[in-house]
Amino acid sequence: MNVTLRPDRKLLDANFESYKLSLEKVPIFKIPVRGTVNFVPLNSSLSKQHLKAYSCQNCLTVDPFHSGFVYYITSEGKVFQMNIPDNAMIFNSGFGVCEIPDWKAVQTGSQVFASLRFPSSETAIIYDGVKSLIIYATTCAAKDKSTEFDAWKPISILHPPLDSGEAVLLDACSAVDNAESHREIHCLFGSVVQRPEDLPQMEGSKSSFITYLDWLTFRLENSQYHLFRHRKFAAPSFPDYVAFEKSTGAVHICSDRQFRPMFDSANAEIAKTLMSLPDTTPASSATATESATPVVPILWSQTEVTDEDDSGSVVISFQLVDAYLPASSSASKQSVHVTISPRVPSEDEHQSVRVQITHPSTEAENAPDEENTVFLDHALYGSVDGDAVWSIDRENKILEVHLNKKHALHWPRLLHDMVIDQHLVKPKHPVHIASQVETIQDRHMTPKEGGDENTAQGASLKPAFNVEQLEDVDFALDQDEDDLVLQRFDAETLELTHQASLSGHQWLLNVLSDHTTAESLWATNAFCIRHDVDGVVWLPHGVDENDTDGNAHKSKRRTDRGHPPCPWRHICTLQAFGYVLASKRDHRFVSAPPLNPNTPLPFVAVADASKRIYVYRQPLDSSEFPSGDMELRRRKVAKTDQRTPEGVVHVAWQHVVCLPDNDEIIGFVTLSKPYPACVACTQNHLYLISLVG
């Protein structure tokens, strides 16, 4: 089922202006590491998939089940636990909890770093990057710290059946099987291997490598974990985001290529059935047909919403030749015919656009003086108003047709079911016509009805910034970048239940879910993508779960308006962070504190490859910062909310922190408990950056 991610208007702040650089001194506490932090440098000869898979190495790991617990692994294979103290003055390098078995063999046999994850409050998992998965019981660590490197007790040492031992443990989650009441641990491994010869070429890629996502389920029986089920997905791209739902009833994947199920040890027929299905990537419909070569070259673009245009528009440009130009300027006003049918479509009906031009005949002398040529006649991707505006630029020989969208949604493609070929492409920037144009408007303007545009049902989203004020860093995608696809796969059938095209929306960061409270979130982690200039944080949730706090009413209202239920919910917003991160060309890490239920993120931080760290506080009343974290200034701005006084603009604080050394930053995490802080590490030192002074 194709769905669309619709941000919650209540979580977007149209009055946010900018970040103000704080002159407040941020204390930095530096301590030496006991040994050196383990860091595996990247091989110089890597494919794009390898680079994406193995450049995500973060040498610090946060325990989402215990506040203030941060871990690192040394070059000797020892795992250290740091407890962030209430008094930052007593910050220390922590104590050892375990040693990874056969570490010398690991060091010589792998080019991949070891991965540490916490599936529950009582277990930890380490994959050594070669062949071994060690499951530890961590309950004894809090009780007895007298015996160093023996605080975690190994339960099982397993050898996952992976195509390549050089894999990364991406996610882990613990659950209880409802049918048999067995304790299970679910793990997601990512690896990049040479594409097998018997594996067919996947849509949109000619790469000789393939990315595998192995979903392994280990069941606890007789005090030992054993492999119970093996599921596998494949795509020609490494994912930006993977997450389990808390019930492990589904897995969520975000990548620039569509993943497909390849194997299921519980049902071999599932993979055979699903592998035979046609490609369902939103950029090409499952019922797509090959497009015929257009009569003239066609370009299309779309504009975002503005204060003057609350839905956005689509611009279709036809590059004319002399034969198709009207005989004169006066004749051109009757020469172009744009028809949209039906003008008012039903819920499940697609509108078609027909563009026809009347021009001097190119046939023999006895032929009529004029003839008609149809440039385009096809179903559109989305709904538009029933009238159109067109213009002809005679100097540059361009015909432009402007269609107004009915909904403020991004179109991943122009046409409903046509494969886009080289003649029908989306340019990086909108096409602008010259000043000398002949324009005719085929509609009569009707004034908008009164009422609050933000509270009216079906009202479109308003951006936090005027599109005309955007700079070069605001363009979302480069020409060589691919659009993201978000997918949800059912655990039992491996069927693709939901997918969404994130065309035009950059992936910014992943946010760990906070499990320290009794009220846990729906998934192991959330993801943040760019919407206009903001960073919008989305969290997976089960589509069949009982919603609370009024969400059931909201979901029902969306369904009544014709929108299918969406398994991703807008949970909070990082103000203007899409714009901010686009300007940080040399950043290495992006981190936000673990996400608490019903609590927005208090800040987000960016770390460069060395030296500098940038912290962006969010303008929240409950951000756990001291008073003065947000500034209100009087500006002449449009009133966008009944609760916001006219003229109030939000300005939040920004900190720029410079570490005392120029060493490479190889680990970086952020915390909101016991207080807002950042923790960074180089190979020889640890740094605690307290954001509360």
- CATH number of the domain that residue 434 is part of: 2.60.40.790
Dihedral sign, Cα of residue 135, residue 136, residue 138, residue 140: positive
217: which 2 tokens? 């389920």
The average pLDDT across 35-63 equals 87
Q: Has residue 252 been placed in a domain?
A: yes
Residues 30 and 85 in one domain: yes
CA distance 107 to 98: 17
Residues 377 and 236 in one domain: no
pLDDT band at residue 553 using 50, 70 and 90 as cut-offs: very low
Residues 265 and 302 in one domain: no
pLDDT digits (tens, 9 = 90+) for 201-225: 665 567 788 999 999 999 999 999 9
Dihedral sign, Cα of residue 28, residue 31, residue 37, residue 42: positive
The average pLDDT across 368-394 equals 83
Q: Has residue 623 been placed in a domain?
A: yes
User: Other C-beta atoms within 10 Å of 282: how many?
Assistant: 20
pLDDT digits (tens, 9 = 90+) for 659-689: 999 999 999 999 999 999 999 999 999 999 9
Residues 124 and 247 in one domain: yes
Residues 272 and 323 in one domain: no
Place of tokens 């594409």: 195
Say which residues have a Cβ less than 8 Å from residue 415's Cβ, sequence separation at least 6. 291, 378, 379, 380, 381, 424
pLDDT band at residue 368 using 50, 70 and 90 as cut-offs: low
The DSSP result for 83-136, as a single string, is E--SSGGG----EEEEE-TTHHHHHHH-SS--EEEEEETTEEEEE-SSS-EEEE
Q: Has residue 214 been placed in a domain?
A: yes
The average pLDDT across 320-329 equals 75
pTM for the complete prediction? 0.73
Question: What is the domain count for the chain?
Answer: 2
Place of tokens 């070259």: 297
Which amino acid, one-letter code, is at 610? S
Residues 540 and 567 in one domain: yes
Q: Has residue 290 been placed in a domain?
A: no
CA distance 261 to 275: 7
Say which residues have a Cβ less than 8 Å from residue 142's Cβ, sequence separation at least 6. none
Q: Write down the mean pLDDT value for the chain.
A: 79
SS3 66: coil
Residues 142 and 167 in one domain: yes
Among 609, 615, 613, 590, which residue's Cα sits nearest to residue 659? 613
Q: Has residue 292 been placed in a domain?
A: no
Q: Report whether pLDDT(131) > 90.
A: no
Q: Has residue 452 been placed in a domain?
A: no
CATH of the domain at 275: 2.130.10.10
Q: Report whether pLDDT(20) > 80.
A: yes
Which of the two residues, 321 and 465, has the higher pLDDT score? Answer: 321
316: which 2 tokens? 């279709």
Residues 329 and 262 in one domain: no
Q: Can you give the pLDDT at residue 201?
A: 63
SS3 275: helix
Q: Has residue 3 been placed in a domain?
A: no
Q: Has residue 4 been placed in a domain?
A: no
Residues 228 and 305 in one domain: no
The average pLDDT across 314-321 equals 86
Residues 464 and 494 in one domain: no
Which of the two residues, 6 and 149, has the higher pLDDT score? Answer: 6
Which of the two residues, 435 and 678, has the higher pLDDT score? Answer: 678
CA distance 484 to 300: 20
Residues 139 and 53 in one domain: yes
- Which residue range forms the structural domain that includes residue 391? 298-446+458-474
Q: Can you give the pLDDT at residue 142?
A: 52
Q: Can you give the pLDDT at residue 433?
A: 34
The average pLDDT across 390-419 equals 78
CA distance 175 to 217: 10
Strand partners, 243: 252
CA distance 485 to 178: 31
Residues 411 and 509 in one domain: no
Q: Can you give the pLDDT at residue 192?
A: 92
Percent of the chain with pLDDT over 70: 72
